[in-house]
Amino acid sequence: MATAQLAARVSGKGPEGLTVGYTDEGSGPPLVLVHGHPFDRTMWAPQVDAFAPTHRVIAPDLRGYGESDVVPGITPLSSFADDIAALLDHLGIERAVLGGLSMGGQIVMECYRLFPHRITGLVLADTFPAAETQEGKRSRNAAADRLLAEGMKGYADEVLDRMVAPYNTKAAAHVHRMMTAASPEGAAAALRGRAQRPDYRDLLTRVSVPTLVVVGRDDTYTPVADAEAMHAAIPGSTLAVIESSAHLPNLERPGAFNAVFRDHLDLAGRAVPGPGAR
């Protein structure tokens, strides 16, 4: 078994020979954490620390982000999902709980669409299932053009106060570092792919695994009303609203976020055994 220090540096080969950086820590039932845009796997550091004592926690860098290969052009959510499936294969993990935030939550929905038999539980954080509107498509493609022309800093400066509530200054520094370090080509490709995403609302009505829907109380990107609608659509789901946080409650209020996450992992563990532990 790799040590935690080595785990942060190992790489696996996904589809098309893609090199994917990932963290693989702990042992027990597998838990896969999918980051949002324009971040990297370090956004899950508080959750890796919290859950590695009881779970095998896998946190990949999505293609185009962090230590994973950058693939310019358009990256549809299905490509991200295929990469996650290939990483599970590489690690010998048959089934896992999948958690994702924002774009990561939409990738987790795509994973459930493509390979629901490999998923033992879902965590959908600060995300929404609807397809993009025509105006939204124009906006995302314009944002992609801007990133390619100007780089990440201007965008990061503008959106920081919506990503993290202004009163959460400690989390803001980490979030700003992730955004400015992201590859403009990788982030632009993800934005263009997200603009083409399918509508997952009907899919959610057929989810049959334990599901946690969680959102920051002050999130303006994906407000509480979006989370309430997903909770109403997903049979037997649990809804948690994290106070004093915006779009990244896992970093802004990790104690509260981890508490509801752990309750959910306990529920998922009782529902289905977790093969792939080491």
pLDDT in tens, 121-178: 999 999 999 999 999 999 999 999 999 999 999 999 999 999 999 999 999 999 999 9
276 is a domain residue? no
Phi-psi region of 70 (alpha: psi -120 to 50; beta: other; left: phi over 0): beta
DSSP helix, strand, coil percent of the chain (3-state; round to 5): 50, 15, 35
Does residue 105 fall inside a structural domain? yes
Q: What sign does the dihedral 56-258-117-66 (CA atoms) show? A: negative
Number of domains in the chain: 1
Is the residue at 277 inside a domain?
A: no
Q: CA 205 to CA 85: how far, in whole Å?
A: 23
- Domain hosting 137: range is 4-271
Residue range 194-210, pLDDT digits in tens: 999 999 999 999 999 99
Closest CA to 164 of 252, 240, 37, 44: 252
CATH number, position 88: 3.40.50.1820
Would residue 136 count as lying in a domain? yes
Q: What percent of the chain has pLDDT over 90?
A: 89
Per-residue pLDDT tens digits for 220-270: 999 999 999 999 999 999 999 999 999 999 999 999 999 999 999 988 887
The answer to the question of residue 212 being in a domain is yes
Provide the whole-model pTM: 0.92
The helices-and-strands tally (H runs, E runs) of the chain is 12, 8
Position 278: which residue type? R
Of residues 119 and 269, more confidently modeled: 119
In a domain? residue 178: yes
The distance from CA 232 to its chain's CA centroid, rounded to whole angstroms, is 21
